[in-house]
Amino acid sequence: MLILNTLVRGPLHGYGIALSIKRLSLDVLTVEEGSLYPALQRLLLQGWVKAEWKKTETNRRARYYTLTAAGRKQLGLELTQFEQMISAIGRVLQGA
């Protein structure tokens, strides 16, 4: 979900995705960066993202990942579920 979300604002390469998750979460969510890659492969396999090789600003080749329509739909679905869960947890905590 997090990976898909970072891609909403446009194509990114793997490092970019890692960086963006790290920054946006204010360094709270720092996992082993490498574990991003198997996850990306899984998203590719599901058809939720597309990948293409492009040149970066520094003129190096990098693989950029783009959200597909199916990916967008999946993200929407997961976000809804996530929000439902958060609000449920919230209600439980408030009730206590």
Partner 1 sequence: MDSLFRFFRKLNILFSRERFNRELEEEMAFHRDQAEGELRSEGVPPEAVHNAAKRQFGNETRIRERSNEVVGFGFESVLQDLRYAVRQLVSNPSFTIVIVLTLALSIGANSAIFSVIHGVLLKSLPYPEPDRLVRVFLSSPDFPRFPLNPFDFKDLRSRNHSFESFAAFTRGDVQLSGSGEAERLYGFGITAGYFHVLGLKLQLGREFNEHAEIPGNGLQVVISDRLWHTKFGADSNILGRKITLNSQPFTVIGVMPAGMEHPGNEYHSLPYGEGIDVWWPFSFEGNPANRGSHFIEGIGRLRGGVSLSQAISEMNSLMAQIQKEHGGGTWQVLLVPLNEEIVGTSRRMLMVLLGAVIMVLLIACANAANLLLARAATRQREIAVRLALGAPRSRLVRQLLTESLLISFLGGVLGLAFALGGVKFLVSMLPADFPRAHDIHVSVPVFVFTFLVSIVTGIAFGLAPALQASRTDPRQSLHEGGRSATASGRQRRLRNALVISEVGLAFILLIGAGLMFRSLVNLIRLDPGFQQEHVLTVSLSLPRAKYKERAAVAHFYDQLVTSVAVAPGVESVGAGSDLPWTGYDENTGFTIQGKQPPPHQEFHARYHMATPDYFRALGTPLVRGRFLTPSDNESAPKVVLINQAMANKYWPNEDAVGKRITFDDNPKEKDWLTVVGIVGDVKDRPNSPGAEPAFWWPELQAPQPDMSLVVRAKSDPLSLVNTVRNAVGQLDPTLAVADIRLMDEIADTSVATPRLAFLLVGLFAGLAISLAVIGTYGVISYSVSQRSAEFGLRIALGAQRQDVVRLVLSQAAMLVLAGTALGIVMALTLGGLLRNLIYQVSPFDPLTFATVGVVVVFVALLACYIPALRATRSDPMTALRAE
Q: Which residues in this chain contact partner 1 in the complex, by CB under 8 A?
A: 13-15, 18-19, 30, 32-35, 37-38, 41-42, 44-47, 53, 60-63
Non-local (6+) Cβ contacts of 6 within 8 A are 12, 16, 17, 20, 21, 24
Tokens 């597309």 belong to: 50
Nearer to partner 1, 56 or 84 (CB): 56
Nearer to partner 1, 25 or 30 (CB): 30
User: Could you tell me the smallest distance in angstroms from the CB atom of residue 59 to partner 1?
Assistant: 12
CA dihedral 58, 59, 60, 65 (to 10 degrees): 90
Nearer to partner 1, 40 or 85 (CB): 40
